[in-house]
Amino acid sequence: MNIITKVLATDAFQIWLENLKDMKAVGVIKARIERIKKGNIGDWKRVEGVKNIFEVRIDVSKGYRLYYTKRENTIIILLCGGVKDTQNKNIKEAEHILKYLE
């Protein structure tokens, strides 16, 4: 198992997480981020048709998604988050943020 040495979050991700009203989901998301730091990303997949963006799937409440990219093998950058119902909109936001970061 590879250990992720650094997990960074964009302002967009931080604002999204801080504004979530579902405290159960916030706890689960924060726990998942801690596991990611230890190399255990869990349930994830590559976003189809989009280069360098992946999603972590969290099966709690509305079905939360964390969109991220990787730098080298040791840095995960959390781009944005959302729920299953707003997935297409969130993927477009993640693409926009990634273009800004490049």
* Residue 80: count of CB within 10 angstroms of its CB: 28
Tell me the average pLDDT of the chain: 89
Tell me, rounded to whole angstroms, the distance of Cα 92 from its chain centroid: 14
Enumerate domains of the chain plus CATH numbers.
6-101 (3.30.2310.20)
pLDDT tens figures, 41-88: 889 999 999 889 999 999 988 899 999 998 877 678 888 999 988 899
Q: State the pLDDT at residue 2.
A: 58
Q: State the pLDDT at residue 53.
A: 94
| Statement: residue 1 has pLDDT above 70 | no
28 Cβ contact partners less than 8 Å away, ≥ 6 residues apart? 58, 60, 64
Q: Give the pLDDT band (50/70/90) at residue 18.
A: very high
Burial call 11-42: b when 16+ CB within 10 Å, e when fewer: ebbeebbeeeeeeebeebbeebbeebeeeebe
* Residue 81: count of CB within 10 angstroms of its CB: 27
The whole-model pTM stands at: 0.89
